Amino acid sequence: MFILNQQNSIANTYLAEIRDTKIQTDRLRFRKNLERLGEILAYELSKSLQFGTKEITTPLETTGINMVKSQPVLICVLRAANPFYQGFLNIFDHSDSGFIGAFRTEEINDNQEISIELSYQAAPDISGKHVIIIDPMLATGKSFVKTVKSLLNNGKPEKIHVASVIAAPEGVAYINEQLGTDLNLWTCALDSKLNEKSYIVPGLGDAGDLAFGPK
Ligand code: URA
């Protein structure tokens, strides 16, 4: 698992701002910081993709440039992922994108677990592709797992990457248990735990509400 803030202090500045109750209420800044974190994480992830040489012609000569061979498919989990996804799209600007709506229902089962429903889905064929599923808060891991399972109807990908801003150990364990360890997990920070309402602690609160207002 790749954890950005262990090696990038700029990321920590943005993370501090999205967590800080005195700063996070500035919605424009909150969304911008998520976007900036998306850009940095996408850059780090790009190093794991296959490179190839492409010939381009300048006014002076033809030369080979090393670049990512095939841009990954980006999957934006609505609605909280929008700003973080935009950061990925800024870096992988030729990527195909898919959109999936995932939301917590009010129902809590006998084990006091929340349940996740998927709604709107528009996603491209992912056969043979690297696919990055983008959701800022990896809390229980349930929306990631449901999203991956649903996406597999759109082909067999080369590799699945899961990208979050903040992850909880419980969610990481759930993803590994449900989907195996053959996918790549990328996060900007790994926090301590979930609380009784399945919010990440210390976390930042509700990412969707902070970015777009209460539902
Ligand atoms: N979703 C959020 O927005 N915050 C959490 O802490 C967990 C899930």
Give the CATH number of the domain where residue 89 resides: 3.40.50.2020
pLDDT, tens digit, for every residue of 87-100? 999 999 999 999 99
Query: In angstroms, what is the span from residue 64 Cα to ligand 1's centroid?
Result: 45
Q: How far is the CA of 80 from the centre of ligand 1 (A)?
A: 9
41 in a structural domain: yes
d(CA 131, CA 72): 5
- As a whole number, mean pLDDT of residues 125-141 equals 97
Give nearest CA residue, ligand 1 atom 5.
199
Confidence of residue 110 (pLDDT cuts 50, 70, 90): low
pLDDT-derived band at 20, boundaries 50, 70, 90: very high
Q: Is residue 56 part of a domain?
A: no
pLDDT surpassing 70 at residue 107: no
Segment holding 3, helix H or strand E: strand 2-3
Within a domain: 62: no
Q: Give the pLDDT band (50/70/90) at residue 112.
A: low
Percent of the chain with pLDDT over 70: 97
13: domain range?
2-49+69-106+114-212
In which band, very low, low, confident or very high, does the pLDDT at 202 lie, cut at 50, 70 and 90? very high
The residue whose CB lies within 8 Å of the most ligand 1 atoms, and thus the one to mutate among 199, 204, 209, 215, is: 199
Nearest-CA residue for atom 4 of ligand 1:
206
54 located within any domain: no
Whether 73 maps to a domain, the answer reads yes
Residue nearest to atom 2 of ligand 1 (CA): 206
Ligand 1 nearest-atom number relative to CA 80: 3
User: Whole-number mean pLDDT of the chain?
Assistant: 94
The C-alpha atoms of residue 90 and residue 184 are separated, in whole angstroms, by 21
How high is the pLDDT of residue 178?
A: 95
- Inter-residue long-range contacts of 149-155, CB under 8 Å, 24+ positions, other chains counted: 150/100, 150/118, 150/121, 151/75, 151/98, 151/100, 151/123, 151/126, 154/98, 154/123, 154/124, 154/125, 154/126, 154/127, 155/125, 155/126, 155/127, 155/128, 155/129
Domains held by the chain: number: 1
CA 28, 198, 179 angle in degrees (round to 5)?
A: 100
Centroid of ligand 1 to alpha carbon of 205 (angstroms)? 6
The per-residue pLDDT for 108 is 65
Q: What are the backbone angles phi and psi of residue 79, rounded to the nearest 5°?
A: -105, -20
Q: What is the pLDDT of residue 109?
A: 65
Q: Could you tell me if residue 58 is inside a domain?
A: no
Q: Which atom of ligand 1 is nearest to the CA of 199?
A: 6
Q: Which residues line ligand 1 (CB under 6 A)?
A: 80, 137, 139, 199-200, 203, 206-208
Which atom of ligand 1 is found nearest the CA of 207?
3
For residue 202, the CA-to-ligand 1 centroid distance in Å is 11
What integer is the mean pLDDT of 186-215? 97
